[in-house]
Amino acid sequence: MIIKSINLGKNKFFFLLLILLLQSQVSKVYAEDETYYGKIVDVKILDKLSSKNKLIKINIGEDYIFKNLSLKVLKCKNSKFDDNPEITSYLQVRDLNNKDNNEVFIFNGWTFSSSPSIQVFDHPIYDLWILKCY
């Protein structure tokens, strides 16, 4: 009877140890994955009429007003590969001159730094590029 209790105690101890070990490994994976997400995005905006560009910094989740555009970056992520870094970001852009409906975005989607033609921001006056996520 005592031997069964000792074996049962050993099994519980090893089971608890296994759970703690797995939990620490899972938390490491999530911690490593969070390092690729940023809190600030660098965006370059080109004014096609004046041929001037401007570098702006946008905090994730905050609206940024640039002339008649309202920009909001909801998420940005850096790639895990260093040889050809890819920056993806979810961007919403509203034209403030359009007073008909403020809820309509002229752009609402993912942007990719290495391939801006995949999801095109099409505006007659402005072009924009995501440069950095940190």
pLDDT for residue 71: 95
Q: Tell me the pTM.
A: 0.68
The answer to whether the beta carbons of residues 53 and 45 sit under 8 Å apart is yes
- Alpha-carbon span 14 to 35, nearest angstrom: 32
pLDDT for residue 56: 96
Residue 56: which H helix or E strand, with range? Answer: strand 52-59
| Ramachandran bin of 26, using left for φ above 0, alpha for ψ from -120 to 50, beta for the remaining angles | alpha
What amino acid is encoded at 101 in this protein? N
Task: Give the pLDDT band (50/70/90) at residue 126.
Answer: very high
pLDDT tens for 67-79 read: 989 999 999 988 7
pLDDT tens for 15-57 read: 655 565 556 554 444 444 555 788 999 999 999 999 999 999 9
pLDDT for residue 70: 93
Q: Which residue is listed with tokens 């390092």?
A: 35
pLDDT for residue 14: 65
pLDDT for residue 37: 83
